[in-house]
Structure 1
Amino acid sequence: MSDATRFSKPVRSMLQLKHVLVDLLRCAVGNGETASFWYDSWNDMGKLINVFGMGGPCHLQIPREATVKEATRNGSWYLPPARSRKQKRCKSGPDVYLWRNASGLFVTEFSSKATWNFLRTRSLQVNWSSVIWFKEAIPRCSFIVWLALLARLPTRDRLRRWGIMVPGECVLCSQEPETLDHLFFGCSFSSGIWGAFSAGLGLQPSQSLLSVAGSISGTPALCGSAKGVLARLLFQERNSRIFTSTFASMASTKSVIDRTIRDCLFSFPAANVSSPSLLELYFLLLSPAM
């Protein structure tokens, strides 16, 4: 493989990044001592080297390494006479580099959040987002359940559609084809685990991930409450454990889920002395069911 082929994608990515930065980064010219005349975006046209081409420095008789100040005399442009009459005088004070924010305005402080919001294409917020992303969540569980809700987990039915030769039966019960809904709710193994944990939280049996996520996010008693935090954690950890476990007994899987949840809740103290901590609430609601 040639070097040109091997590095073609990174090179294209860097070129795309440079084009994006032209829209994001501007230099507000002050005294012009640090702003590059050719390579900084300090005017409405962007980088002048892109406007005039590589021959621009020769045609305008301004060196490539020149600053904006070096292209002026006494505050006015020092250019060949065939240029426009429009002039941009240098100001006093240092040059300032500005970043475009989410509103499209240029500001002095860089914000990765504002830059990301400016670059990304926004989509409508799904009703299950709060079930996936919350401060008490376990990151690996959030990621797996996020993939599951997007129907992107590599369950056996998907692997077989991709041409990968794997058995089609459910890895847990070995009785029915392994699909997303079967693995988490149709399988007697996983539904038994869900029943053990959901009973104490008042969640009803369901046949799909979306319906459970909608139930947790849409039930008033669970919205913004400590009980709702437990429901989201159990929903995530149970689904994560079901997907990553192989040939473990139901009792063993329940024990691992229970231990993981308790370890997580141990780090969250009670909000005040009059209310129980998440761990205390967990024992109160779920210990009898376990």
Structure 2
Amino acid sequence: MGSWMWRKLIKMRDIARSFHKKKLGNGRNTSFRYDNWSEKGVLITYLGERGIVDMGVIREATVEESIMGIRRKRRHRSMLLNDMEEMLKSVKEKLRAENEDVDIWRREAGYKSKFSTQETWMIMRIAEVKCSWSKSIWFSRATPKFAFVAWLAVKDRLSTMDRISKWDCGVDETCVLCKSEKESRNHLFFECDYSSKVWEHLTKGILVSDYTNDWLRILTIISSDHMERKKVFCLRYAFQATIHVIWRERNKRRHDEKPLPVGAVSRMIDKGIRNKLSILRSGGVKGWENGMKFWFSTPKLKVCIDEKATSMNSMKKGLHLM
């Protein structure tokens, strides 16, 4: 592990200390100075080095040694130290020779004897307002690379030309797919004449009267909990697959590669969705025996396919990348 990682871990020491305490039994395995065992917290922090010395406690002393084995002063000039002496009296009465000291860990319901990584993370993290669209991106059986690109799109973190123009003035912001409008996230998905035809081909038969190519309305629809399981899965998967392929096609054109027509892209995504449904069925995933039947039952709008512009090699390459 690199030295930079160790430096980062060392910076977390104070946070780590706040999650650990010692529950006293006989006090033999608990450091008087450095362990968090008292109601005052870690005593080296509470009293400081000078305060510990004034109490007559040596550096390596355990709680048992500090309370039982050392002749203690009864009065100090400092009220703080006098309060500590009173606390130690009450601790002395509670020590039990037959009981071992126990490590306890901070949990959501208080300190417990078992450590939980999940609860520790949930306590440490800064909780954000739960977004309504999370279930439409991170759902069971999603394809990770599709989900990742869709997540970037939802967060508006893809390098669309409207964002690039903010740090590179003078760039051509025209959409390379339709060559008529300024490229933005909402335009590319799916207001663009090119991408809207692909989206309409795949989803209008499922959405029927609810069909839309408006970004925010699409997110609302696919985030709904009130749709039948196969319908919502196919919509979410089509949404992610379409974003992934359209983004790839956009990047290809930006780098002057041979473009694919609308029909070829539509067929490529359709084939990818059918492959996914076939995998779910053949894999014995419960409830997906008729998944392919549902997809075929939704009518697909025909799109104009320029056969001359689409070679079999480009189609095979596209399906491989899916």
TM-score when normalising by structure 1: 0.79
Cα deviations across residues 95-116 of structure 1 (Å, max 9, x unaligned)?
222222234x112222222122
Partner of 2:53: 58
2:99 counterpart of 1:99 = no
1:37-76 matches, cutoff 5 A: 37-73=32-68
Relative to structure 1, is the Cα distance of residues 156 and 49 closer, same or farther in structure 2, using a 3 angstrom cutoff?
A: same
Match of 2:192 among 162, 167, 187: 187
Partner of 2:148: 143
2:204 counterpart of 1:199 = yes
Give the conservation status (yes or no) of the 8 Å contact 1:269–1:277.
no
Give the CA deviation at 1:69.
3.0
User: Which segments of 5 or more consecutive residues in structure 2 lack a partner in the other structure?
Assistant: 77-81, 254-258, 304-322
1:203-214 matches, cutoff 5 A: 204-214=210-220
2: distance between equivalents of 1:261 and 1:67? 65
Relative to structure 1, is the Cα distance of residues 288 and 252 closer, same or farther in structure 2, using a 3 angstrom cutoff?
A: closer
2: distance between equivalents of 1:26 and 1:14? 19
2:254 counterpart of 1:239 = no
2: distance between equivalents of 1:260 and 1:67? 66
2:285 counterpart of 1:281 = no
Cα deviations across residues 9-50 of structure 1 (Å, max 9, x unaligned)?
9858743x2232233222222233332322222223222222
Match of 2:286 among 271, 281, 286: 271
Relative to structure 1, is the Cα distance of residues 234 and 72 closer, same or farther in structure 2, using a 3 angstrom cutoff?
A: same
Between the two proteins, the alignment pairs up a number of residues equal to: 276
Partner of 1:32: 27
2: distance between equivalents of 1:164 and 1:93? 72
Match of 1:257 among 247, 269, 283: 269
1: distance between equivalents of 2:21 and 2:133? 39
The letter of the residue matching 1:215 is: I
Identity of paired residues, percent? 27
Match of 1:128 among 124, 128, 133: 133
2:128 counterpart of 1:114 = no
2:235 counterpart of 1:228 = no
Relative to structure 1, is the Cα distance of residues 70 and 234 closer, same or farther in structure 2, using a 3 angstrom cutoff?
A: farther
Secondary structure of the structure 1 residue equivalent to 2:121: helix
Give the conservation status (yes or no) of the 8 Å contact 1:200–1:289.
no
Q: CA RMSD in A?
A: 3.3
1: distance between equivalents of 2:49 and 2:247? 56
Cα deviations across residues 34-70 of structure 1 (Å, max 9, x unaligned)?
3232222222322222222344553334333333333
Secondary structure of the structure 2 residue equivalent to 1:106: strand
2: distance between equivalents of 1:217 and 1:11? 41
Relative to structure 1, is the Cα distance of residues 172 and 287 closer, same or farther in structure 2, using a 3 angstrom cutoff?
A: closer
Give the conservation status (yes or no) of the 8 Å contact 1:262–1:279.
yes
Question: Where has structure 1 moved over 6 Å in runs of 4 or more?
Answer: 286-290
Partner of 2:173: 168
Secondary structure of the structure 2 residue equivalent to 1:202: helix
The letter of the residue matching 1:33 is: R
Relative to structure 1, is the Cα distance of residues 242 and 33 closer, same or farther in structure 2, using a 3 angstrom cutoff?
A: farther
Give the conservation status (yes or no) of the 8 Å contact 2:190–2:196.
yes
Give the conservation status (yes or no) of the 8 Å contact 1:132–1:145.
yes
Give the CA deviation at 1:159.
1.3
Secondary structure of the structure 1 residue equivalent to 2:181: coil
User: Which segments of 5 or more consecutive residues in structure 1 lack a partner in the other structure?
Assistant: 1-5
Query: Which segment drifts farther, 82-91 or 170-179?
Result: 82-91
Give the CA deviation at 1:86.
2.1
2: distance between equivalents of 1:79 and 1:190? 82
2: distance between equivalents of 1:219 and 1:50? 52
Give the conservation status (yes or no) of the 8 Å contact 1:149–1:209.
no
Give the CA deviation at 1:288.
8.6
2: distance between equivalents of 1:201 and 1:65? 72
Give the CA deviation at 1:283.
4.3
Give the conservation status (yes or no) of the 8 Å contact 1:169–1:175.
yes
